């Protein structure tokens, strides 16, 4: 297995120009990129389409949630963009609408369970009665029942989630931090090797690479660690 197929670098930068510079700097070491809200609203959607056409894999992190018809229409258009992965909140009705709309395409739909920046107290404050792990496992089972391509969760729940999803569904984990790096605003984190051993299929890494003095060197070190675990 090639670790480059499992590492997703988050282009969480302010401008398209900075994103393009980072992609050029990382070169062939990185094949897969995440584009989320920050970049999407400053030309990132056009960049996502262009990068997909150039051969890069794109994880479009839009975390969709709306009425069924709106979800379906959005997914149909995203399929046409050539995206590899798309996130939506793991609500059963939204997931089912997305699965139906993406049928016959190669788009991998991912249900977002509990953000890695949230802990049990955050969920309690938001009105949930379940703790983070319990809610993640509930959402994972619902995603599988809906026919989703996978889920997004913390690597700390990966082992328990993998038992629910089975071997084939994608298990994408943000909140990845190499040993010794700053956790920032992430609360449920793991190292790259630990995450893969726990059952993650893809790792999303942003700041440890994008904010490194030498992004290419940082990416290569993470890839090397991942390769030892594969």
Domain holding 180: CATH number? 3.20.20.70
Say if residue 226 carries a ligand binding annotation: no
Say if residue 121 carries a ligand binding annotation: no
pLDDT of residue 201: 97
pLDDT of residue 187: 53
Rg of the chain on CA atoms, in Å: 17
Range of the domain at 88: 3-229
Say if residue 34 carries a ligand binding annotation: yes
Say if residue 83 carries a ligand binding annotation: no
Residue whose entry in the numeric block shows the structure tokens 């943000």: 174
5 counts as catalytic: no
Say if residue 12 carries a ligand binding annotation: yes
Say if residue 90 carries a ligand binding annotation: no
pLDDT of residue 155: 86
pLDDT of residue 179: 64
pLDDT of residue 177: 83
Say if residue 70 carries a ligand binding annotation: yes
pLDDT of residue 63: 96
Q: How many Å apart are CA 158 and CA 171, to the nearest integer?
A: 7
**What's the structural domain count of the chain?**
1
Q: What is the pLDDT of residues 20-67, one digit of tens each?
A: 999 999 999 999 999 999 999 999 999 999 999 999 999 999 999 999
Where helices occur in the chain by DSSP H, the ranges are: 16-26, 37-39, 45-53, 68-81, 92-102, 120-125, 132-146, 158-165, 192-198, 207-210, 215-229
Name the stretches of the chain with pLDDT < 70.
Answer: 179-189
Q: DSSP states of 91-138 as a string?
A: -HHHHHHHHHHHTTS--EEEEE-S-TT--HHHHHHTT--S-HHHHHHH
Candidate list 61, 133, 144, 187, residue with the active-site label: 61
Q: Which two tokens stand for residue 42?
A: 């400053």
**How long, in residues, is the chain?**
230
144 counts as catalytic: no
Q: How many Å apart are CA 52 and CA 47, to the nearest integer?
A: 8
Give yes or no for a contact between 189 and 176, defined as CB atoms under 8 angstroms apart: yes
Candidate list 29, 50, 56, 66, residue with the active-site label: 66
Candidate list 50, 56, 63, 216, residue with the active-site label: 63
CB burial of residue 192 (10 Å; 0-12, 13-18, 19+): buried
63 counts as catalytic: yes
Count of alpha carbons within 13 angstroms of residue 102, beta-carbon side: 28
């Amino acid at each position: 297995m090639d670790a480059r197929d499992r590492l997703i670098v988050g282009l969480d930068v302010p401008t398209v120009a900075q994103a393009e510079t980072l992609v050029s700097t990382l070169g062939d070491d990185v094949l897969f990129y995440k584009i989320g809200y920050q970049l999407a609203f400053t030309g990132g959607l056009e960049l996502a389409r262009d990068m997909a056409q150039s051969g890069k894999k794109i994880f479009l992190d839009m975390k969709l949630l709306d009425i069924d018809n709106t979800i379906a229409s959005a997914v149909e258009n995203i399929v046409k963009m050539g995206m590899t992965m798309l996130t939506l909140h793991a609500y059963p009705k939204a997931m089912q609408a997305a699965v139906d709309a993406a049928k016959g395409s190669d788009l991998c739909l991912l249900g977002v369970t509990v953000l890695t920046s949230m802990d049990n107290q955050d969920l309690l404050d938001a009105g949930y009665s379940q703790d983070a792990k319990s809610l993640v496992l509930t959402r994972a089972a619902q995603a599988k029942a809906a026919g989703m391509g996978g889920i997004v969760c913390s690597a700390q729940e990966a082992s328990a989630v993998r038992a629910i999803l089975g071997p084939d569904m994608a298990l994408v984990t943000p909140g990845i931090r190499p040993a010794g790096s700053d956790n920032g605003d992430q609360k449920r984190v793991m190292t790259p090797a630990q995450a893969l051993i726990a059952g993650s299929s893809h790792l999303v890494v942003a700041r440890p690479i994008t904010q490194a003095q030498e992004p290419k060197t940082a990416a290569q070190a993470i890839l090397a660690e991942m390769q030892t675990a594969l």
